[in-house]
Amino acid sequence: MWVLGINWKLHDTAAALVDGDGRIWALSEEERFTRVKHAWDSYPRNATRFCLSTAGIDWRDLDVVAIGWDLPRWGVWGENDKEQLYRSLFGPEAVGHGDAPELVFVEHHVAHAYSAFYASGFTQAGVLVTDGAGEKESISIYSAGANGLKLERRWPRGYSLGSLYEAATRLLGFGYLDAGKTMGLAPYGRAEASALLPYGDVIGDETGNLHTPFGLTPEHTYPEVTEAWRQHLSERFGTVTHEADQLESDPVAVRIAASAQLTVEDTIRSLHAETVALAGVPEVCISGGVALNCVANGRLPEPLYVPPFPHDCGVALGAAWSEAPPPPGRLLESPYLGRSIVPGREVDELREDGFRVTGFEPSATADLLVAGAIGAVAEGRSEVGPRALCHRSIMAMPHSTSVRDTINRIKGREMWRPLAPVTLPDYARRLWPDQGRRELYMVGNTVVSAHAQEVMPAAAHVDGTTRPQVLPPGQAPVAESLLSEFAARGLPPVLVNTSFNGRGEPIVDTAGDAVRAFRALGLDFLVLGEHLVHRPT
């Protein structure tokens, strides 16, 4: 059996392929192919072709195509849409063909929930989904186990934490899906500058009645909810006057960001407690776009699981797993599910242009890093999700805040934005408390130790926190070998790890993408598969 899951409509278009045992063969976002970030309003045609080619099959071998939205329930599915979808994904020969796969629709929050639970390694768990909006809801709680999912509670769009945060992000001058910038700005607001916003009561009063913010009803749309929050924030806090690069000095901006963040954190804690109570077990999985808020995730107790793809890309996998689930209790084997780095003509062209190309050797590359070089790594299959996990990463020694400033300048980021570290398991506890499975994919934030402040100031934020990755053995050979080399030299085995991409671009995917970004960003070196590329001196 073969099931193709897709996320289609709106943003983060993606495709996933699983077999009848729930094994993932491939999962990739369309943006990695088109180089248009978030792949707005596009079919995942390139991602689909990649998935099929990875397994060595074509569309005739598929049994099911599962969409991570219940489009008929949403009211956005017409009689000719299936024909257009199959034509876009598979070509005109699939239209009306007797071997065309069955098409099924999976509720958006259900797909999110499947993607988190079946990747978690838990045999049973509560699952909390919170995002901008599904078809008609913005928060859902499920219990999950051997028999699949059971819906426990659901909240309408008026409770959208995604809308609240989106409104704050827009008032700060950022674009749609730039919520990570708001999260990075929030710590610049002193505790007394932040305030809980009138979000409403998510649990209900003694009669079970809910009180939505601003009296919003289930009929209000996502844009209407977002606009209600925008008006409230603007009237309450005033107007942001500083440019993006100086927002940390704008008192209005930091109050908006800090208040939105405080409200999300407080609400997520309440929802987490409700999830535990309704599911009857302490294990909790979290998914949906709001689950990208690693600071809120970091405030929650163990045992907790957040997948590397909690955003809408993940519903492609969740939709596929709704038809062919793996057995519960199997932790996601790898987040590296995209295309492989296969250097070809790019290496010859680099040599022709005066770059020195040698074989990758950990000691020589470590020498460059110790000398202050900033480089990039592109090896193996690309990681899925918005966080670079050492297969497509920019790396540097984190010993000085000037390193953070240089990397932010190279990437065209606001100078106040934080960077993140990666280290080895046996060194991690010297840097921060155990974060459980959150450490695998950079999906949780935590305080750092005094030792960490000393050895990795470039990867510690202004409030003494960081978003860490602990690298399991064998997952990312280049990064692991470099960290091991540092440890052998008596140096702290920790590196800055940030996504390998330029401003406004998706993370690089292919060897060609990596070389173009390396040239454009002016990095000092590039590990490209088995090659080490040195910039001309």
- Residues marked as catalytic: 11
Between CA 494 and CA 459 the distance in angstroms is 10
Radius of gyration of the chain (CA): 23
Instruction: Give CA separation, 146 vs 203, 332, 389, in Å.
Output: 28, 17, 30
Q: CB neighbours of 84 closer than 8 A, spacing ≥ 6?
A: none
- CB contact at 8 A, 321 and 118: yes
For 504, left (φ over 0), alpha (ψ -120 to 50), or beta? left
The DSSP code sequence of 340-365 is EP---HHHHHHHHTT-EEEE--HHHH
User: To 5 degrees, how large is the angle CA 345–CA 369–CA 356?
Assistant: 30
Which one, of 366, 398, 318, 339, lies nearest residue 532 by Cα? 366
Which one, of 407, 431, 404, lies nearest residue 501 by Cα? 407
- CB contact at 8 A, 472 and 483: no
Mapped to the 3 state alphabet, what secondary structure does 142-208 carry? EEEECCEEEEEEEEEHHHCHHHHHHHHHHHCCCCCCCHHHHHHHHHHCCHHHCCCCCCCECCCCCCC
**Tokens 């749309």 appear where?**
221
The amino acid at residue 26 is A
For 108, left (φ over 0), alpha (ψ -120 to 50), or beta? alpha
- CB contact at 8 A, 500 and 520: no
Between CA 165 and CA 178 the distance in angstroms is 10
The DSSP code sequence of 496-522 is EEEES--TT-PPP-SHHHHHHHHHHHT
Between CA 38 and CA 54 the distance in angstroms is 22
